[in-house]
Structure 1
Amino acid sequence: MRGVMIPFRKMHGLGNDFVVLDGRETKLGLTPRHAAGIADRHFGIGCDQFIVMEQPPPGADVFMRIRNPDGSEAGACGNATRCIASLVADQLGKDRVVVRTIAGELPVERLPGGLWRADMGPARLGWQDVPLADEVDTLHVPLALGPVADPAVCSMGNPHATFFVDDLDALPVAEIGPRLETHPIFPDRANIGFAQVMSPDHIRLVMWERGAGMTLACGSGACATIVNAHRRGLTGRRATITMPGGDLVMEWREGDGHVLMTGPVATSFSGVLDLAAYAG
């Protein structure tokens, strides 16, 4: 027996893709199992993150709830933030909206050329903020595995570790990514970035995302990368970060320490789904 059919939209930012449901008017009763089933690329619709728009608290235009493909909840997703902001801005007839997540408020503004700039808030640099299991210097974490070592870490509403490497193409990311994600030094697991600095204003990046695996792009990962690269003296505060899905322009603003992310959004298709089909 079919249940209630619910509209959905499939969106992406640089190939980092999302299934988006609107729960602002009606509570959908979604569970982590629903999210995992819908995110499955073989038995569901398939996505890197599962997004639900909810009623906003005061001061925001929408609340965005984020779940990874394994059903776990995430605090931040930069590419999804731009996607949701574009939907809400068009609905409200505005060029600037505020997206609230469990990690805080994220102002997003429309720019010419179909681009959106999101203020992803300040990078958190304390070891407790990431969090790490032990009190260590977040600029040089004593962690090594195979060909990578000595990451810098920070939190962008979710934990990130950035390994700087000489040859990105030579790394066995699919092999070492999941082992680093679940390393005991990260009690909440971590997003793992592998970055090759090409010039003071250009970085190549491949991400292994916590709960999602390798993705074509990761907005919060790009945020962490510009922060950690500048802290290491490898780049300026502004750089283009090239990921397999395309480019984001990143800036770690000096005045307040906020990280600004500029990039495109796209809608792949829309449809309806039977929520009852994903309850098991």
Structure 2
Amino acid sequence: MLRQFHKMHGLGNDFVILDGRESPLAMTEALARHLADRREGIGCDQLILLEPSNTAELRMRIFNADGSEVESCGNASRCVVKLTGAGTIETAGGVIHGDVTGAEVEVSLIEPRFSWNEIPLAYAMPTDPVPMGWENLDRPYAVNVGNPHLVFFVEDLDDIDIEGLGPAIETDPTFPERINVNVAEVGDDGIRLKTFERGAGLTRACGTGACATAVAAIRARRLSSPVRVTMPGGTLVIAWEPGQPVTMRGDATHVFEGTIDL
């Protein structure tokens, strides 16, 4: 069975997008993992499947490179808005609103959540910060922006082995749905950020990670909105006021399209 696909990326965080709105496609963990494989499939950080929606213009399902399905992806949201022109997108993490603004795309995620059971954590504890630590990373802030994140603020980002520490933090039993791990250095011109994504590993950029980190910095009074968040793949501008959804603006790039025999 031949299916058309699009390859896109947001600041180097790359996606394979399949459109199942008119011709349904049954996605499995094994198929998602195969398509994401950079040697035997197409290759991507996340596989995106578009489906019909009863609450928005379309539904977006997100599968990590390991085949696991997750709730939200900020960079993929910008790519889908650019590809389809959709102004509203249903995700498992809530409805996202999007708009193409010149060369960039702006999306509005859900209002951030901070309670321990909304992250979720395995048991009740403070989330701002969380009283836990792993080697030289401790007291992170926990934020849910449609998916769960920890944010560690450090003095020198380059001193942290996030790729080494990420797997243990991601799979700690305290996080029943696993967790995305963000390590951030705050400067006068914004935030430098690296993110270890659950199910994908260290990525060049993470849109929801940038949102969660900016929200944590604003809540901790380290910065004020809007916040520039710079990752290895590029920069996003994040805006948030308490009680409001968080918005993200940045590039979305179409790389190529093709067909694959499923």
Q: Identity of paired residues, percent? A: 44
Q: Structure 2: which 5+ residue stretches go unaligned?
A: none
Aligned to 1:261: 248
Partner of 1:175: 164
Could you tell me how far apart the structure 2 residues matched to 1:168 and 1:226 are? 16
1:42 equivalent in alignment to 2:29? no
Match runs of 1:144-155 below 5 Å: 144-155=133-144
Query: What does 1:99-118 correspond to in 2, within 5 Å?
Result: 99-112=89-102, 114-118=103-107
| Counterpart code for 1:205 | L
Cα distance in 2, alignment partners of residues 154 and 54 from structure 1: 28
Q: Distance in 1 between matches of 2:230 and 2:27?
A: 34
After TM superposition, what 4+ stretches of structure 1 lie above 4 angstroms from structure 2?
none
1:237 to partner: Cα distance: 2.4
* 1:278 alignment partner in structure 2: none
2:93 aligned with 1:97, yes or no? no
Partner of residue 129, structure 1:
118
Report the structure number with the largest CA radius of gyration: 1
Partner residue in 2 for 1:15: 12
Equivalent in the alignment of 1:240: 228
> Is there any run of 5+ residues in structure 1 with no aligned partner, and where?
90-95, 276-280
Residue by residue over 1:93-127, the C-alpha shift from the partner in whole angstroms, topping out at 9 and shown as x without a partner, is xxx61011112111101212x11110011001110
Q: What count of residue pairs does the alignment treat as equivalent? A: 262
Alpha-carbon displacement from aligned partner over 1:20-68 (angstroms, at most 9, x marks no partner): 001000111221110011111122111111001111214x111101011
Distance 1:104 1:135 in 2: 24
From 173, 182, 186, the counterpart of 1:193: 182
Give, in whole Å, the separation in 1 of the partners of 2:221 and 2:241. Answer: 15
Equivalent residue, structure 2, for 1:93? none
Q: CA RMSD in A?
A: 1.1
Indicate the residue corresponding to 2:196 in structure 1.
208
Normalised by the length of structure 2, the TM-score is 0.97
CA distance in 2, matches of 1:104, 1:180: 25
Give the one of 210, 216, 237 matched to 1:222.
210
Look up the SS of the partner of 2:110 in the other structure: strand
